[in-house]
Chains A and B, each alone.
Chain A
Amino acid sequence: KQEVTQIPAALSVPEGENLVLNCSFTDSAIYNLQWFRQDPGKGLTSLLLIQSSQREQTSGRLNASLDKSSGRSTLYIAASQPGDSATYLCAVDDTGTASKLTFGTGTRLQVTL
C-alpha cells in the first residue's frame, strides 16, 4: 500500500527566505505527483503536477522536482511571502487517471513578517 510522508510537519520562516518542502512515497510506480495548497477552512488548490517522465515543473516562484526512483519530491518556494502561509500537501497517483490519489499529511507553513 502506498504511503506518503511529508517532512517537516510544520515550518516557520521569515519573509524573503527560500524554502524546501519534502515529500516521500514508498511505491515508486507512480504516474504523477501533485502539490496542493490548503488555506485554513478551505479546500485544496492544485499548484503543480509532475508526470512520472518529468523531473520538474515550475510556476512562478514555485518549483517542484520529482525523483521517482528514490521516491522523493520537493517543492521549492523562492522569496517567500506572508501570503504563502498555508498547508502544502503532496499527492501521488498510482492509476494514471488521477482518480485515486494518495495524500501526504501536509506541511503547515507560516511566513512571518
Chain B
Amino acid sequence: DAGVIQSPRHEVTEMGQEVTLRCKPISGHDYLFWYRQTMMRGLELLIYFNNNVPIDDSGMPEDRFSAKMPNASFSTLKIQPSEPRDSAVYFCASSMGQELTQYFGPGTRLLVL
C-alpha cells in the first residue's frame, strides 16, 4: 500500500484566501484523523472520522475550519478565510478498527502570508 497520501505537500497563500487540503487514507482503514503541528502548540488533533462520520471536532479552532469525508477514500480540510496564524504543518492519519496504531501521511506545509 502507498500509505496515507496528502496533497498538496506545500501551499503558500495570501490571507483571506480559501485553502483546501486533501487526504487519501490507507485502503481498509475506517478511522481518519486531521492534526495540526506548530512549534508553539506541538501536534494537536483537529477532528476525526469513523466510517466517514465526524466523531469529534472539538479540536477545530474556529468556524473558519471545516472537514469532510464524502467516502472512505477521501477527506478534505478547508480553511476559509485563511489567516497567517493558520500557518502550520497539517497531517492526516488513518487507522483500522481496534488497532491502536495510527499511520501518518507526510503532511502539508501551509504558509499564509
User: Which A residues are in CB contact (< 8 Å) with B102?
Assistant: 44, 46, 98, 101
B100 touching A32, Cβ below 8 Å = yes
B100 touching A42, Cβ below 8 Å = no
User: Which B residues are in CB contact (< 8 Å) with A106?
Assistant: 42
A42 touching B95, Cβ below 8 Å = no
* Complex CA–CA separation, A49 to B95 (angstroms): 14
B34 within 8 A of A: no
Residue-wise, chain A 54-83 has the 8 Å CB interface mask toward B (1 for contact) of 000000000000000000000000000000
Interface residues of B in 30-46 (CB under 8 A from A): 31, 33, 42-45
For A98, give its contact among B91, B95, B107 (CB under 8 Å).
Answer: B95
Residue-wise, chain B 73-102 has the 8 Å CB interface mask toward A (1 for contact) of 000000000000000000101010001111
For B107, give its contact among A43, A46, A89, A97 (CB under 8 Å).
Answer: A43
User: Which A residues are in CB contact (< 8 Å) with B100?
Assistant: 32, 34, 49, 93, 97-98
For A105, give its contact among B42, B48, B93, B103 (CB under 8 Å).
Answer: B42
* Complex CA–CA separation, A41 to B42 (angstroms): 15
Looking at the assembled complex, report how far the CB atom of A9 sits from the nearest CB atom of chain B, in whole angstroms: 11
User: Which A residues are in CB contact (< 8 Å) with B50?
Assistant: 99
Interface size class on chain B is: 20 to 34
A45 touching B104, Cβ below 8 Å = yes
Interface centre among A43, A97, A104 (most CB of B within 10 A): A43
* Complex CA–CA separation, A104 to B99 (angstroms): 21
* Complex CA–CA separation, A100 to B104 (angstroms): 14
A99 touching B48, Cβ below 8 Å = yes
Known contacts A98-B100, A100-B56; is A43 also within 8 Å of B91 by CB?
yes
A42 touching B31, Cβ below 8 Å = no
A residues with a Cβ closer than 8 A to B are 32, 34, 41-46, 49, 89, 93, 97-101, 103-106
